[in-house]
Structures are given as structure tokens and as C-alpha cells.
Amino acid sequence: MKTGGIKIVAENRKASFHYHFLEKFEAGLVLTGSEVKSLRDGKASLGDAYAVIKNGELWLLNCHINPYAPAAGLNHEPLRSRKLLLNKAEIHKLTGSLVEKGLTLVPTKIYFKQGRAKVELALAKGKKLFDKRESIKRKESRRAISRAMKHKSR
């Protein structure tokens, strides 16, 4: 999917169901050549991925990028930890926010912007069960309204 110079490679759709997003950040990704080629083919998954801060650096963990078949012996490990590039001031801000109870960094998208691989991270707070039920109700009511509008226009 391409929108305004941005090619979205992978999205974490379940994240918005499980978390309330408080703030979003854009971070660069440090990748090997085979990882970039695999991302350009759209072979990535953010299902269980999350970000952590270790020794003042931001890392993306559990992000699955499929091995690139033509790379043969020079391939990468699919689930390796990948360094994220973010301003030092933003990392300090995130460190302070993550100390708060219940906040986490969730990757929501991987995309290419002007030829560079980027990750959209969301500072998120976990939803309670009743919040999830409310999300389901809203989603179902939107579907019912759109169905009714379709049938009425016929």
C-alpha cells in the first residue's frame, strides 16, 4: 500500500484492540541488506513485537522479518533484535514515561519513507476487558450502519 511517498510494509492491527495509544513516534531501523530486500517484498510481521530501552538505546524485539531466499548463505536471523534510531531527547522522554505503571512501547507499522525503513511506535497503556468489549460494540454498530446505508441506497 502506498500513500504519499510512504509504502506500508506491515501493520499491527491487533495493537489498537489491546492498547490505548497515548503518543506516537517515528523511529529508523538498523537493518542488514537481506532484511531490507525482504521488507521491500512485504515479508514482515509485527504480531508479538515490542520495543524496549537497554543502556540508553531503543531496541525492537520479536519482529519477524522472513529470510530473503536469493540471499542464500548471507541471510539474517528472522527474530533478531533490531536497533531503533531515535533522538536522545526522545529516548529520555520515553524512559520517563515507561517507568510509569502499565505503559509499554508497541510498534504499530513498518514502512518505507523516502527509501528508508521506519517503524511507528506507540506509547500505549493496556486496555481492560470492558474497554475491549466497548471497542467490539462500536465496531459492530459501525458495520450495521454501513450495511443499512448500502441496502437503503439500492
Spans of all domains in the chain: 2-127
Task: Tell me how far apart the alpha carbons of residues 48 and 35 are, in angstroms, rounded to a whole number.
Answer: 18
The dihedral built from the CA positions of residue 82, 86, 92 and 94, taken in this order, carries a sign that is: negative
Predicted TM-score (pTM) of the model is 0.73
Q: Which of 116, 119, 127 is nearest to 25 (CA)?
A: 119
The CATH number of 2-127 is: 2.40.280.10
Q: Report the greatest alpha carbon distance in the chain.
A: 61
Residue 4 pLDDT: 61
Task: Tell me how far apart the alpha carbons of residues 98 and 79 are, in angstroms, rounded to a whole number.
Answer: 23
pLDDT in tens, 19-56: 878 888 898 888 888 888 888 888 888 888 888 888 88
Strands (DSSP E) found in the chain = 2-3, 6-11, 19-29, 44-45, 50-54, 57-61, 64-65, 82-85, 103-113, 116-126
pLDDT band at residue 65 under the 50/70/90 scheme: confident
Residue 98 pLDDT: 79
Task: Tell me how far apart the alpha carbons of residues 109 and 91 are, in angstroms, rounded to a whole number.
Answer: 19
pLDDT band at residue 92 under the 50/70/90 scheme: confident
Cβ-proximal residues to 36 (8 Å cutoff; 6+ apart), any chain: 117
